[in-house]
């Protein structure tokens, strides 16, 4: 059965069209201002109009307040809010209640204790995404998209009432092994389909989605 895949950090009509054409289940727009993948809300709104209804339009937010989330949604309607910061379970519940949209909480992983933290969000989020905690000595680390992975075997046997995704350092070359080791039912990629931070490669998007379809 194909593994649903999310292509995150898209900024151009060409890359959005490629992700849709090659079978992405989710398309992600990054609204974290310090990221090389940042997209203006108005641009995301324009790009979103070309995305079929069955593809989930996702917005990446990092510890944003209600006013900023509302302003972005006014310009770029979304289906799923990806919370990639230090949002508490209470904050996740509040965002979900206020905006009436599905919410995916990102869990940043370095060791088994981080996996265990996912249980705190089981009753307030709609989805989980496991991403790598950047190394402590990594300079200018981003909340995500750092092209680093974690020990995928930490997720072996993981069970949750919520659907979940694997992220962090995935590429077309390592995707099959990452899914085998982690048991991930869905995957997310940003840096692994780029030539350089923020610049997507259409052929890499095609290759990544081809592997996901084969699994």
Minimal CA–CA distance to 58: which of 201, 189, 191?
189
> For the chain, how long is the longest CA-to-CA vector?
42
- Residue 83's CB is within 10 A of a number of other CB atoms, namely 24
Say what the pLDDT of residue 133 is: 84
Which residue intervals of 117-196 are DSSP H helices? 175-182
Minimal CA–CA distance to 11: which of 42, 43, 34, 35?
43
CA distance 34 to 184: 29
User: In this structure, what DSSP letter does residue 200 have?
Assistant: E
Contact between residue 104 and residue 124 where contact means Cβ atoms under 8 Å apart: no
Question: Under DSSP, is residue 59 helix (H, G, I), strand (E, B) or coil?
Answer: strand
* Residue 176 CB-half CA count within 13 A: 9
* Residue 44 CB-half CA count within 13 A: 27
Per residue in 85-139, pLDDT (tens digit) is: 999 999 999 999 999 999 999 999 999 999 999 999 999 999 999 999 876 555 6
Per residue in 138-168, pLDDT (tens digit) is: 566 556 555 678 999 999 999 999 999 999 9
CATH topology of domain 5-214: TIM Barrel (3.20.20)
CA distances from 80 to 6, 107, 151, 177 (A): 12, 16, 27, 27
The average pLDDT across 197-212 equals 97
Predicted TM-score (pTM) of the model is 0.93
CA distance 198 to 39: 10
For the chain, which residues make up each domain, given as ranges? 5-214
Say what the pLDDT of residue 190 is: 96
Write out 80-138 in H/E/C secondary structure.
Answer: EEEECCCCCHHHHHHHHHHHCCEEEEEEEECCHHHHHHHHHHCCCCCEEEEEECCCCCC
Chain centroid to CA 211: 18
Q: Which residue has tokens 């981080």? A: 114
The average pLDDT across 3-30 equals 98
């Amino acid at each position: 059965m194909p593994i649903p895949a999310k292509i995150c950090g898209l900024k151009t009509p060409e890359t959005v069209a490629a992700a849709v054409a090659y079978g992405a289940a989710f398309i992600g727009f990054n609204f974290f201002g310090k990221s090389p993948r940042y997209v203006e809300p108005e641009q995301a709104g324009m790009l979103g109009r070309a995305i079929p209804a069955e593809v989930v339009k996702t917005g990446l937010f990092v510890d944003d307040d209600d006013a900023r989330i509302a302003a972005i949604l006014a310009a770029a309607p979304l289906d799923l809010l990806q919370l990639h910061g230090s949002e508490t379970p209470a904050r996740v519940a509040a965002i979900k209640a206020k905006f009436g949209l599905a919410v995916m909480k990102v869990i940043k992983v370095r060791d088994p204790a981080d996996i265990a933290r996912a249980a705190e969000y089981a009753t307030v989020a709609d989805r989980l995404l496991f991403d790598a905690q950047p190394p402590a000595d990594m300079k200018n680390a981003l909340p995500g998209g750092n092209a680093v992975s974690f020990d995928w075997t930490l997720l072996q046997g993981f069970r949750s009432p919520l659907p979940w995704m694997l992220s962090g350092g995935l590429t077309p070359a390592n995707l099959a092994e990452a899914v085998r080791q982690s048991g991930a039912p869905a995957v997310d990629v940003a840096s692994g389909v780029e030539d350089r931070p923020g610049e997507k490669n259409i052929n890499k998007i095609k290759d990544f989605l081809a592997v996901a379809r084969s699994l």
